[in-house]
Structure 1
Amino acid sequence: MAVNQSYELPCGRDLDTVWDRLDEVGSGHADEHELTCPHCRTARESLLALREATQELVDEPDPVPPDLVGRIMSAVRAEVRRGQMLSLPTPEPGGVEVSEQAVAVILRYAADSAGGVRARRCRVRKAGVDSDGASVVEVELTLVVRLGNRDGGETLARVRERVVAAAAARVGLSLAKLDLLVEDVYEDGE
């Protein structure tokens, strides 16, 4: 393995040469310069420490993060077509629009924060326009509920409250309709 940039040490030796000869010098095959030069010795020590640290990283790879699947699914959801554009209320003249998909991401996040449930799919569709010119939407949110959840009604009420609040406070939309569909259950650790 060679160092990408050429760097000359104060003694005139190239750092690439020191790197390439690490094993030879370590096995007793050093030339006179390598035995006596303080610049080469210092560079060799630094390169050996670098090689050792790199080998430790290779030998002990990071464990897979427990939320990896959730993060991947969030990215996949974000890549789906953005859908129709929705008008948002603005204090100034002019307009701001946001995609249905962007609103769906925010509403799924709000549902996930309720605890005991995970949002799967969220469909946002424009249902009309309010007096301020902002879109009014209908939302269908598909959920999975944690296995053993004994307060399903309270959990769904908490989801409904958080989704409605997020639509109004984070996006500026009002909901004409919010359908919550429980599709499946999950176990902790999934």
Structure 2
Amino acid sequence: MSDRSFDPDRVLPCGRTLGVLLDFLADSAPTELTEHIQTCPHCQAALAELDADWAPVRRTARLPVESPHGLVERALRAVRGVRGGLGAAPVELTQKDGKLRIAQQAVVLLTRRLCLEILTGHPGVHLRGCVGDVDEVQVDLTVRYALPLPEEADAIQRELVAALREVLGAGAPGVLVRVVDVEPPGTR
């Protein structure tokens, strides 16, 4: 196989294709192919080249992959924020026909949704996490390097507080906006 490009339909001198040999390597070939390969120099040569070509891929696949720093903590914090605490009192909004109760989880999801909408007006700022309850919601942000951190965080907090008050009125939770990570310029 002097040509290093792979064509699964390429037919070897013995009549077998490279695609059939791949089936053999994947342990999904019929037993008669196994018997043929044991005596066929063409198939053996092609398999040796395929094996050599895939050796680096197999080595790489065996390498352990570490999860990014803080991934587990961020995922658990997000799940806790959406799942909420047991027995947490809902937000109650008085309406003309009675009271509307909004669960803690809905408050966190609403805050997250409003924050994502607000962040469309703040290029270089990304939502990292949103957790909390009906009393206070914590919003964690990632900000691109060189943006003015305190000013961005303060502006986003003001906009988010106003958006929550517009939807929930006096029942809006407090909002804590934190910058938890800074990205290098040119990412995303």
Q: Is the shorter-chain TM-score for this pair beyond 0.5, marking a shared fold?
A: no
TM-score tier by shorter-chain length is: 0.3 to 0.5
TM-score where L is the length of structure 1: 0.42
Q: Larger % of helix: which?
A: 2
Q: Larger % of strand: which?
A: 1
TM-score where L is the length of structure 2: 0.42
